[in-house]
A and B are shown apart, each in its own frame.
Chain A
C-alpha cells in the first residue's frame, strides 16, 4: 500500500486542501476494493434522507465512483432498482451470503415506543409489518461493522428531541456486540462518510474514535478554533442581528463546543459553510443536538481567546442544558429549560 495510514489521516484531518476528499485517494480505494467491493446494506429509519442526499454530493471520489468502484450497494431504498419483496429478499440474501463481511449503514433513529410501530419496513410472510428496530437487530447481528450515518442513528437527533414522541433511540441502544462507528452531522458531510469507509477498506481496521464513537480524523477539532469569523471574536465584534458582520456568539453559535471540521473543509465542493454564510453553528455533530434555542447565546459559558474544549469535556452541562450519552447509552435527546415539566427528563435513558 503506497499510502500510509499516517498520510491518510493527515489527508483527512487536513480537509484535503480545504476542499474535499482528494482525487489522489481514488486509485488507492480501487486497489483496496480489488478483491471485490464490500457489500453494503443501507437502512433508513426515522430519517429524512438528508444524509443519503449529502452522500450524493461527494466530489472525489464522485458518487458514481463510490457506487461502482468502492462499495457494492445491495440495498438502499432510495436508489435501488427493485421494490417490495424483491428488495427485501435482496437485503436478506446479502446478509446471509456475506455473514460477518458486509457493512450495515444506518440512517435515522430507531423508534421503540408502542412496540416500534412508528417505523416499519416490509412485511413478514404472514403479513405482519416488520419494525425498523427488529430489522436493525436482525441485519446488524450479521454485519461486520455498523456505520451510523448522521446524528439520528448515532445519537437520536431531531426525532428524539423532547418530548421524543415516538421513543427514538440511537442504534447503539438496540444493537450490541458489533463495532459501531458514528458519523454524526445533520447532515453528515460526504467526506466524513466516504473517508471513514475508505479508512476501513484501506487499513482493515476501524479509525480512532473519540468517546462519542466519532472518527477523530474528522471530529478532532472544534468549530471555534478554525472559525472564519474568529478574528471578530478576538476583536470583540459581535453580530446582534442576522446578516451583521461579526462573531455569531450572541446569536446562538455552538462553535465553542461543536466538533466539526466543516469550517475549513466547507460544504458542497468548497462553496460555503454554515458560519461563513452568517448562520450560527447549531452543533449538529454533537450528542446533544438539537439542544436549546438555536438563536440564543449559550448560557453560562465564558470564553476567552484561549478557550479550549476537547472531545472529553464536551459532555459538560451547559447551564440548563444536559448533554448526555456515553458508549452504549448515547442519548441524542436534550431538553432545554424552556420546555416545561416532564419534558426535561431524558427520553429512553437507562
Chain B
C-alpha cells in the first residue's frame, strides 16, 4: 500500500513550502508541492505612487530583492517612456550581478551543501547543522573533500558577504538597496567605487572558478546517480536579461537570451502564450479553466475540494516549464551544459548549470565595470504619466521574472508579478499535468521514508523561493492578473 511522506516545512529554502509524496514499492508515485505563506503585496501597491513599487516589491524577497527592484524599475521605465543612460544600465547590471553571485553561493553552500557534506565527520555536529536526515552511505564525500567542503561552507559565507559589499557600493546597502529608480540609478560613478568593486569581483571570480565550480563537479561525480534523478518536465523557459545596449532595454538579447525549449525543440518565446490555471489552486474556477493572465479572474477558496496550493499553475503554450539557471544555460546554448545532453535535466545538472552561469557572469561583469564613464549621467528625470502601462521582463537568480504595472490617475491601479518559483513549484494544471518540481519528484526511489533525503535534494536543486511565489495571492479581491503580456 502506498505510504505518504509529508515534509513540512521544507527547510533551507526561502519561505514556506510543504511537500507531500506518495510512495509505493519504494518509489514516489505522486507528489504535491504547496506553499504556506501569503502576504498580498500587489494589493498593497494599489492606489500608491507608482514609484513606490520598487520598495515594496523588493520586500517580496530578501534573498533576491534586486530581481524585483530591477523588474519593477524596467516596468516603470517602459510606462514612463524613459531611456536609461549607459552608466545607469551598467550600474543596474553590476548591482544585479553582485546579487546573483551572492544568491548562487548562498544556495549551493548554505542551502544545498548540507545534503551532501557530512557535518559529523567535519567536526560540526552541532545545531543548527544537526539534527539532519540520517541515511547510511548518503553523505558520500571522502574525508579530504568533506573537510574541504565544510571549510568552503564557511569561506562561502564570507564570499557572499563580499558580493553584498559590491552590491552596496552602487546600491547603498544590501539587502534592500535604495539606488535603483525609474530612469536609472541614484549612485554616481567614480574611480574609487570602480576599484573597490573590481577588487572584490576579482576575489569572487577566483573563488567561483577555483573552488565553487570544481567542487560542484566533484560532488556531481560522487553523486553521478543524481544526474538521472529529478528529471522534471524537460521544458525550459527564459525571458532574457542583463541588457547590453540602449536598443535592448530589458535584455531580451542580453547576456541571458530569451527563448524556450519544448519537447526537445528550441522555439522562439512569445509572452502571449502564457496562461495561468487554477484547478488545483485555492481559487474558484469561475473563469472555466485555462486563461491568459489578462483574462484570469481569481476568487480565493481555501475550502476548494481537490485544491492544494496558493500557487496558480502558469503554463506556456499549455506546457509546464522549468525556469532558472538550467533553463537559461540550456536556452542560451551554453556548451558545457548542453554537452551533458539529457543528463542536464537532473539534480546535479541544475547545480552545475548554476555554477557555470555564476562563472560566466563574473567574467562579463569585469567587462561591464570597465565600460563605466565617470562624469556621465546615471539617470534621466521622469514625469509620472496620468495613464500608462508598463512591463518588465527579466531573469532573477531563480529564473524568469515578469512585472506588470497599470497606472491610472497617476497612481498604481494594478500591479502583477509572475515569479520564477510559481513556474517551478506550481501545482497541477487543468489537464492534470504536474508542475516541474512535482514531476521531478515522481519516480524517485526513497530508501527510508522517515529520512527522505532524496526528495529534499531534488526540491533544493531548484532553489525555490516561496516568499516570491506566494506574494501575489489575494484573499478578498477578485482580480489581480489583468495584464496583456506582449
Question: Interface of A with B (CB < 8 Å)?
Answer: 44-54, 56-57, 59, 62-64, 67-68, 72-84, 86-88, 90, 111, 113-114, 117-123, 127, 129, 157-159, 161-166, 168, 186-187, 241-243, 262, 267-269, 271-280, 282, 284, 290, 293-296, 336, 338-340, 343
> Is B332 in contact with chain A by the CB < 8 A criterion?
no
By beta carbon, the residue of chain A nearest B103 is: A53
> Is B38 in contact with chain A by the CB < 8 A criterion?
yes
By beta carbon, the residue of chain A nearest B378 is: A243
The main secondary structure of chain A at its interface with chain B is loop
A47–chain B nearest beta-carbon distance, Å: 7
**28 pairs of residues in contact across A and B, judged by CB atoms under 8 Å:** A47-B62, A49-B14, A56-B106, A56-B157, A56-B160, A73-B128, A76-B128, A78-B11, A81-B131, A82-B132, A82-B133, A83-B456, A84-B11, A86-B132, A87-B11, A88-B9, A90-B127, A114-B475, A161-B44, A165-B474, A242-B183, A242-B184, A268-B167, A277-B168, A282-B55, A290-B55, A290-B56, A338-B49
> Is B388 in contact with chain A by the CB < 8 A criterion?
no
Shortest 6 CB-CB contacts between residues of A and residues of B: A50-B62, A279-B178, A278-B186, A165-B40, A277-B172, A81-B132
Binary A-proximity of B183-197 (CB < 8 A = 1, otherwise 0): 111111000000010
Binary A-proximity of B142-161 (CB < 8 A = 1, otherwise 0): 00000000000010011011
B20–chain A nearest beta-carbon distance, Å: 10
Task: Give the B interface residue count (CB, 8 A).
Answer: 84
A268–B165 CB distance below 8 A: yes
Most buried by A among B161, B164, B168, B174: B168
A71–chain B nearest beta-carbon distance, Å: 10
Determine which of B59, B176, B187 lies in contact with A277 in the assembled complex, contact meaning CB atoms within 8 Å. B187
A136–chain B nearest beta-carbon distance, Å: 14
> Is B41 in contact with chain A by the CB < 8 A criterion?
yes
- Give Cα A276 to B193, complex, Å: 13
A243–B12 CB distance below 8 A: no
Most buried by A among B15, B39, B49: B39
- Give Cα A280 to B179, complex, Å: 9
- Give the chain B neighbours of A67 by CB distance below 8 A: 128
> Is B476 in contact with chain A by the CB < 8 A criterion?
yes
By beta carbon, the residue of chain A nearest B161 is: A57
- Give Cα A86 to B378, complex, Å: 50
Determine which of A90, A118, A187, A274 lies in contact with B39 in the assembled complex, contact meaning CB atoms within 8 Å. A118
A90–B9 CB distance below 8 A: no
- Give the chain B neighbours of A162 by CB distance below 8 A: 44
> Is B61 in contact with chain A by the CB < 8 A criterion?
yes
B12–A54 CB distance below 8 A: no
B377–chain A nearest beta-carbon distance, Å: 7
- Give Cα A294 to B49, complex, Å: 8
> Is B119 in contact with chain A by the CB < 8 A criterion?
yes
Most buried by A among B12, B132, B186: B186
- Give Cα A273 to B165, complex, Å: 11
Most buried by B among A47, A63, A166, A279: A279
Question: Interface of B with A (CB < 8 Å)?
Answer: 6-16, 36-41, 43-44, 47-49, 51-52, 55-56, 59-63, 65, 106, 110-111, 114, 119, 126-133, 154, 157-158, 160-161, 164-165, 167-179, 181, 183-188, 196, 302, 377-379, 381, 411, 456, 467, 474-476
- Give Cα A76 to B130, complex, Å: 11
B37–A119 CB distance below 8 A: yes
A243–B302 CB distance below 8 A: no
- Give the chain B neighbours of A57 by CB distance below 8 A: 161, 164, 174
- Give the chain A neighbours of B60 by CB distance below 8 A: 48
Q: A78-B12, A165-B44 are in contact. Are A56 and B377 (CB under 8 A)?
A: no
- Give the chain B neighbours of A338 by CB distance below 8 A: 47-49, 411
By beta carbon, the residue of chain B nearest A74 is: B127
- Give Cα A52 to B10, complex, Å: 17
- Give the chain B neighbours of A164 by CB distance below 8 A: 44
A163–B44 CB distance below 8 A: yes
A80–B8 CB distance below 8 A: no
Q: A49-B63, A79-B12, A272-B173 are in contact. Are A165 and B133 (CB under 8 A)?
A: no
Most buried by A among B9, B106, B132, B183: B9
B476–A165 CB distance below 8 A: yes
- Give the chain B neighbours of A113 by CB distance below 8 A: 475
A166–B196 CB distance below 8 A: no
Most buried by A among B10, B48, B174, B176: B176
B61–A87 CB distance below 8 A: no
- Give Cα A88 to B8, complex, Å: 9
B8–A84 CB distance below 8 A: yes
B168–A339 CB distance below 8 A: no
Determine which of B9, B38, B65, B157 lies in contact with A63 in the assembled complex, contact meaning CB atoms within 8 Å. B157
- Give Cα A212 to B202, complex, Å: 44
- Give Cα A187 to B165, complex, Å: 15
B55–A273 CB distance below 8 A: no
- Give the chain A neighbours of B161 by CB distance below 8 A: 56-57, 59, 62-63, 268-269
- Give the chain A neighbours of B456 by CB distance below 8 A: 83
- Give the chain A neighbours of B48 by CB distance below 8 A: 293, 336, 338-339
